[in-house]
Amino acid sequence: MEKPNRKIFDAHSHIGTMIPFKYYGLPEPIQPTWFEFEDAKAEIKDMDAFGVERRMIISNYGVPDSAQPFTLQPLVLDACEHNDRFVGAIWTSPMLKDKERNEEALKHAGDKGIKALKVTCLLGGSYKPADWDTETRAMWDHMVDVAEENNLVYHMHTSPGGSSDISNEIEFIKLYGKRIKIYVVHFGGGVSGHIKFGPQFIGLVKEGYKIWGDFTWSVGFGPRWMLHTLQETGECWDRFLFSSDTPWSDFWGEYYKLEGCDVSQELKDRIFYQNAVDLYDNCGRKR
């Protein structure tokens, strides 16, 4: 298949390998992604195959062990230090048991190429402030302070249910989203998530909340609905980015759900490239 005939900035991808695991109690360990990027060289090979100019890289994760993604942090830091095609995110955890790991990770918030913090509740914890005890609230406050002080985006995984449910993240956005930039990964994470989040998005931006997002893992109607809303209203064209979420998702699948949408080339150009440039190149410390 030929490379896309447009500039691409992949705003969300994962680096590093994980051991096979007996997910969901399967009788034998599996590697569900089939392939992974063991290092920056492997990332570059993949980028070149698809004509991707630049890429945001984040620790690979999925094994139900909250310590695991922290072990891949050095890959992110090294790649960003040595190649300007990469920008990176520091891994953080919403759980108190990882407080010391968070502290160690956050020491790198000002490193070259670091533009974001990343968090998920898939491995435990909650985005919902009402679920936090005093210590957990203090830990979140500190991580948000670091994001604000270093002008970093907070990348937050969303799911259509559980602690990562978009309803919980919207409460997080309303608590912190006028202080820091928040990137809503997966557009709410599924059918219910799209329906909960889509109608609120433009209103939240108008209220002054600093939110961005991507359409990875989204069901077909989700990106189509949002893109046509953006096209018809002329609002928030700068707030969505193209992401592949490789190796967990698929480049061509994510690409064509946007490329195949009947909206203007100007809007597509913004989403596939310019919005990521505008967001990430204006984040992090300048070195």
Across the beta sheet with 8-15, the strand order is: 8-15, 52-59, 86-91, 114-119, 153-156, 181-184, 211-213
Return d(Cα 62, Cα 90) in angstroms, integer. 16
Per-residue pLDDT of 19-47, as tens digits, reads: 999 999 999 999 999 999 999 999 999 99
pLDDT surpasses 80 at 1: no
Tell me the two tokens of residue 85. 């095609």
Distant-in-sequence, close-in-space partners of 266: CB < 8 Å, separation ≥ 6: none
Average pLDDT over residues 102-114: 98
CATH code that applies to domain 11-280: 3.20.20.140
Q: Residue 274: is its pLDDT beyond 60?
A: yes
Examine the pLDDT at 161 and tell me if it is beyond 80.
no
Spatial CB neighbours of 262, under 8 Å, sequence gap ≥ 6: 228
285, pLDDT greater than 80? no
What confidence tier does 184 reach under pLDDT thresholds 50, 70, 90?
A: very high
pLDDT value of position 286? 58
Does position 16 have pLDDT exceeding 60, yes or no?
A: yes
What angle is formed at CA 140 by the lines to CA 136 and CA 145, rounded to 5 degrees? 145
Q: Using 50, 70 and 90 to split pLDDT, how confident is the model at 265?
A: very high
| Per-domain residue ranges of the chain | 11-280
d(CA 76, CA 14): 9
The pTM score is: 0.97
Reply yes or no on whether the pLDDT at 281 is more than 60.
Answer: yes
Q: Summarize the confidence of residues 181-204 as an average pLDDT.
A: 96
Give the pLDDT mean for 83-107. Answer: 98
